Structure formats: structure tokens, C-alpha cells
Amino acid sequence: MDQLILNESLKVGHGQIDAGHVKLIGIVNRCVDMVEASATLEAFNEVLNDLKDTLVHHIGEEEAIMQELGYPDIQGERKEHLGGLVRLDQLLDTCRDGVDLEALLREVAGLLLVIFIKSDMSFKSYLQSIDYYDEAPASV
Ligand SMILES: [Fe+2]
Ligand SMILES: [Fe+2]
């Protein structure tokens, strides 16, 4: 599987949120390298757990930012986050002997992109609607 990249269109325009997404994508890319290098299940599992911790942290930060900036659909976003975390837990549960690591990685990568990054595009539109300008956008 190819490395993921956070292209321009997926940037939210809020430095802290974009930096969080870059960090998450970096962890998934570590998994991509690990599958390539035929890493052990144990090592892979460790990185997936790191991904989950980083995601939980990111969600907390992101929801606080949304609240602070008066985002009207914060409930909908919370629901997306919770549903995504449940799904991630299910995927983590399948990470045991005999699992196809590459297939698992594809599911995890898809989940990250669809639930955790693309769902933030509504917030991006909101930021644009309030003329939010981040002085220090993530330089990635
Ligand atoms: Fe996010
Ligand atoms: Fe989000």
C-alpha cells in the first residue's frame, strides 16, 4: 500500500487540527512501512494502539476547538468521532494471529481518511463562512 498524503484539499485551515491530522497520517504511514518490511504482529499492534491514543487526543482537541469557535454541528461531529472509534476498536480486535495485515491496514487507513479527516470538511466550510484565518497554518 502507498503512503498516505494530506493533500491541500484535505486541509481544514486550522493549524492545530491540520497538525493533528498530519501526525495521524504519519502513524498510518509507519504501519505502511511495517507491512512492507513484514513486521511482527506485536510491533504492528503497538503502532495501532499508538494510533488510537493519538486519535483520542486529537478528537478531544478538535471538539474543544469546534466548541470554542461556535461550530453549530458539533453534535454531529461528536457522533462521527464516536462511531469511528467504535469501528477502530473492532478493527484492533481483529489484529491477531493469522490476520492479513495489509488488508487491516487498508481498512484503518480508509477509516482515518473518511471518518476522521473528510468529516472535518464541514468544519472547514464553517471556518471559511466566519472568515477564520489561522496565522500559523500547518506547513505541510
Ligand atoms: Fe480531525
Ligand atoms: Fe473530526
Q: How far is the CA of 65 from the centre of ligand 1 (A)?
A: 11
Q: How far is the CA of 104 from the centre of ligand 2 (A)?
A: 22
Confidence of residue 3 (pLDDT cuts 50, 70, 90): very high
* Ligand positioned closest to the Cα atom of 119: 2
Q: How far is the CA of 97 from the centre of ligand 1 (A)?
A: 31
Q: How far is the CA of 18 from the centre of ligand 1 (A)?
A: 8
Average pLDDT over residues 101-121: 92
Q: What is the pLDDT of residue 105?
A: 95
Q: What is the pLDDT of residue 136?
A: 63
Q: What is the pLDDT of residue 138?
A: 57
Backbone conformation region of residue 99, classed left if phi is above 0, alpha if psi is from -120 to 50, else beta: beta
Distance CA 139, CA 102 (A): 30
Structural domains in the chain plus CATH codes: 13-129 (1.20.120.50)
Average pLDDT over residues 58-62: 97
pLDDT at 140 over 90: no
pLDDT at 13 over 60: yes
